[in-house]
Amino acid sequence: MDYKDSEEQLIETIEGTQSYKLEYGPLPRDTFRSKLSWELKFRKSSYVILLLTIIAYGSLVQLCFWKDIALGVSIAFMGIFLFIVPMISFLTSSFKGWNDKSVRSWMVEIINVNPGDDMDKWDLIAAKMNTILYENDERATRYFFYDGKQCLSRFINRFVTLHLKNALESPPCLVPFIKTAADQYMEHFNEQLRKMTLGSSADRTEVATQNETV
């Protein structure tokens, strides 16, 4: 399926503008003092669960040691499984607001904006997706993507890399969108490589011509 065939299946959207702060509000990068403060806000419930788990685990182990050392040692090892709960919470926080519709919207934004490696354009996509994810899930926040750099990183890790390895496991309804977005992204760098190659060839030709003239 070529680009035009895939494009016919894409939902229609209006191409974004660079003034993302006016349309979609500021990114977390523009709001929070540091990435750490954003992380604490974004995963607030997960960190609360982790803190409560640590308190419960420590109290239980201490109580068991008071009663019996052997029992305390056993509980200390077995109690590690309590941390499965906060681990699940951290994992699920990375998917709040994400469903087939939001992934498709994300791919469409990437196709329409065609950001390449332009971080200003990725900031735009990140800001719009934060709004979309918030509207898709009442448990989500407006702070999913810290900035455009994180948005690009997630796109590469979850889609571009798997697409290049032919390892995509997405629903069939999303495959045309993902492939088109990934191919368009890679074409940006292929074009840069072609220009660099042509430039190097032209330089070598010019040097050879000068040598022959001499």
pLDDT of residue 121: 93
Whole-number pLDDT of residue 183: 94
Angle between helices 35-42 and 44-67 (to 10 degrees): 80
What CA–CA distance (Å, rounded) separates 62 from 19? Answer: 55
Both tokens of 126, joined, read 């990140």
Question: Which secondary structure element, helix H or strand E, spans residue 121, and what is its range?
Answer: helix 119-136
How far apart (Å, rounded) are the C-alpha atoms in residues 179 and 1? 9
Geometric angle at alpha carbon 32, from 31 and 35, rounded to 5°: 130
Q: Name the token pair of 151.
A: 């948005």
From first CA to last CA, the distance across the chain in angstroms is 53
Tokens of 24: 């979609």
Sequence ranges of the domains in the chain:
13-214
pLDDT for the residue numbered 21 = 63
* Residue ranges for the chain with pLDDT beneath 50: 1-18, 201-202, 207-208
* DSSP one-letter string for 133-157: HHHH-TT--S-S-SSHHHHHHHHII
Q: Give the model's pLDDT for residue 184.
A: 94
Give me the pLDDT at residue 89, please.
Answer: 66
- The token duo for 83 is 């941390």
In single-letter form, the type of residue at position 42 comes to F
CA pair distance 50, 82, nearest whole angstrom: 10
